[in-house]
Amino acid sequence: MTTPTPDAGPASDGTAPDGIDEVVRDRSIIVCCGSGGVGKTTTSAAIALQAARLGRTACVVTIDPARRLANSLGVDELSNSPTRIEGDWPGELHALMLDPKGTFDDLITRYSDSEAQAEDIRVNRIYRNLTGTLSGTQEYMAMEKLHELVEEGGFDVIVVDTPPSRNALDFLDAPRRLTHFLENRVFQALMAPTRVGLRFMGVAAQALLRTISKVAGADIVHDAVAFFQAFEGMEEGFRLRAARVRELLVQPTTAFVLVASPRPDSVDEAIHFAAKLAESDMSATALIVNRVQPRFATDDQLATLTSTLGPGRVGDGPPAALADLVDNLAGYTLASDREEAAFAAAVAEVAPAPVYRIPLLNTDVHDLGSLADVADLLFTPAPR
C-alpha cells in the first residue's frame, strides 16, 4: 500500500501552518469539521490518541449517536462525562459521547433562578422536544460541552468531533441561534404587551399567533408561550455563554481540522466550510482526506501495458484472465485520477494549510490497534 505523504510538510518559514504534528502537540482545542460519512469520528479519535501518545492529557468529544467512537476505542458505551481509555501511552486519553438533552438540562439548572423555574422548563413539551427539533441545538450543546470541559480544566487538549451538519454554518451559529430563538420578539411581545415601544409589535404578534393557532392548534401556542415565560430572564446567561464560546473558537490555540472524503459532495462541503471559517475570521489549520484510493501504477506503466498487450478482449488481445488483471489495475488508476481532480479545488481553498491523504484501509477501524494505525499514517511517529 502506498504511504500517504502530506503535500506540504511542516513549514519552517512561518508563513504556513505547521501542520498536523504541531496541532496535536501544541493546540488546546481541536475542532474536526466535515460532512457525514467521511471518517470524522475516527479521525478525531486518532488525533486524541496521538496527543496521548505525546504525553498530553486529551479528551475527545463526539456527538456520534451510532457509537462509532465507542466501537473504535474498544468500549461498549460512552457517557456524557469523560471516560478514561486505558492503554499503553505516556499521556491520558479520555472520551465522551455528547448527550445533547442531558447537557441542555445541566445548562437549564445552571442558569435558572430557582429549582421551580428549572422544573417548569424541564416539563415543558416544547423544551422536551427542543434538542431534537431546533436545528443547531446539537451543535450548540457540543460547544457548551466544550466550554464546560475548558472551564473545569484538567485537559491539555480537547478534540471535538462536530455533528455532521448539512449546513456548515450551524456549527458556528449554534449559540447565537438559540439566543435568537429565546429572544424572539413575537413571543416577547406577547409576554410583555405593555412594555414601552412594543405596542405595534404586540398587534402584529397577535395576528401571527392567531395564524399559528389556526394552523397548529391553540395548545401549541399556549405551550410556546409557557416555554418562553419559563425561559424569561435566562437569555442574558445564554448570551454571555455564547460569547465566551466564540472567544474559545477564535483563540490562536484553537485549530480547525477539515475532514473530507474524495467524493465530490464531501469536497464541496469542505470548500464551503473553509470559506465560512474565513468569513468568521478563523481558518482551516489542516485538511485531511480520508479513504483515498491507493494507486498501483503510473500512467506510463498503464500505457506500456496497453501497448504491449493490445486492446483487451478483442481479436488478438490478451486472454480474458490477463485482461481482467489489467482492467482492475486501470480501474484503480482511473479512480485515483478522478479523486485527485475532485479534491484539487479543496486543496487550493485551504492553502496554505497542509493536506493529508489517508488511504482506504484494508480493515475497518474498530479497535485501538487499528486506530493507532490511522494515527501512524497521519502523524510523524511519536517517540516511544
Partner 1 sequence: MDIRSFCSQSRVVIVAGKGGVGKTTMVAALAHLAAGAGMSVLVIELEGRSGVSHAFGGSGDLGYAGAVLHAAGATEVGDDTGDLGAPIPAGVVHARTITPDDALLEYLDDHGMRRFSKRLLSSGIIDIVAGAIPGIRDILVLGKVKQIEQQGIADLVLVDAPATGHTMTFLSSASGLLDAARGGPIRAQAADVVALLSDPKRCQVALVTLPEEMPVNEVVEAAYQLEDSVGIALGPVIVNACYPAVDSLTTPAGDTVAAAGVDLDPALVDSLEQARRFRQRRHELQEGQVGRLASELPLAQLRVPYLFTDAIGPAELDTLSQALAAGIEALHETDPVAR
Footprint on residues 339-358 left by partner 1 (CB under 8 A): 339, 342
Among positions 150-169, residues that touch partner 1 (CB under 8 A) are 164, 166
Closest CA to 72 of 374, 280, 377, 376: 374
For residue 79, state whether it binds partner 1 (rule: CB under 8 A): no
Closest CA to 280 of 137, 135, 139, 174: 174
Q: Which of 7, 9, 65, 299 is close enough to bind partner 1 by CB under 8 A? A: 65
Q: Which of 79, 116, 154, 211 is close enough to bind partner 1 by CB under 8 A? A: 211
Measured from the CB of residue 228, what is the shortest distance to partner 1 in angstroms?
A: 9
For partner 1, which stretch binds (CB under 8 A), given 87-95, 144-152, 183-191, 244-252? 183-191
Check if the beta carbon of residue 40 is closer than 8 Å to that of residue 377. no
Closest CA to 97 of 17, 168, 23, 161: 161
State whether residue 144 is helix, strand or coil.
Answer: helix
CA dist., res. 88 & res. 180, Å (int): 46
Closer to partner 1 by CB, 97 or 157: give it: 97
Q: Is the dihedral of CA 7, 12, 13, 16 positive or negative?
A: positive
Measured from the CB of residue 381, what is the shortest distance to partner 1 in angstroms?
A: 24
Among positions 31-60, residues that touch partner 1 (CB under 8 A) are 35-38
Length of the chain: 384
Among positions 223-262, residues that touch partner 1 (CB under 8 A) are 223-224, 227, 261-262
For partner 1, which stretch binds (CB under 8 A), given 50-58, 88-96, 249-257, 319-327? 319-327
Measured from the CB of residue 96, what is the shortest distance to partner 1 in angstroms?
A: 18
CA dist., res. 190 & res. 202, Å (int): 6
Residues ≥6 apart with Cβ < 8 Å to 95: 45, 48, 59, 60, 61, 62, 69, 70, 73, 75, 78, 82, 83, 85
Closer to partner 1 by CB, 218 or 344: give it: 218
For partner 1, which stretch binds (CB under 8 A), given 10-18, 152-160, 278-286, 322-330? 322-330
Q: Which of 214, 279, 311, 348 is close enough to bind partner 1 by CB under 8 A? A: 214
Measured from the CB of residue 375, what is the shortest distance to partner 1 in angstroms?
A: 18
For residue 311, state whether it binds partner 1 (rule: CB under 8 A): no
State whether residue 309 is helix, strand or coil.
Answer: helix
